[in-house]
Amino acid sequence: QKEVEQDPGPLSVPEGAIVSLNCTYSNSAFQYFMWYRQYSRKGPELLMYTYSSGNKEDGRFTAQVDKSSKYISLFIRDSQPSDSATYLCAMSGGSQGNLIFGKGTKLSVKP
Contacts of 85 (CB under 8 A, 6+ apart): 37, 38, 39, 40, 106, 107
- Inter-residue contact 44 to 88 (CB < 8 Å): yes
User: In whole angstroms, how close is the CB of 110 to another protein at the nearest point?
Assistant: 25
User: In whole angstroms, how close is the CB of 79 to another protein at the nearest point?
Assistant: 23
How far apart CA 38 and CA 36 sit, in angstroms, is 6
Q: Which is nearer to another protein, 102 or 109 (CB)?
A: 102
Q: Which is nearer to another protein, 6 or 79 (CB)?
A: 6
Burial class (CB in 10 A: 0-12, 13-18, 19+), 72: buried
In the complex, the residues that contact another protein under the rule CB under 8 A are 31-32, 34, 36, 41-46, 49, 51, 88, 90, 92-104
Q: Which is nearer to another protein, 19 or 90 (CB)?
A: 90
User: In whole angstroms, how close is the CB of 102 to another protein at the nearest point?
Assistant: 7
User: In whole angstroms, how close is the CB of 103 to another protein at the nearest point?
Assistant: 4
Q: Which is nearer to another protein, 37 or 79 (CB)?
A: 37
How far apart CA 6 and CA 21 sit, in angstroms, is 8
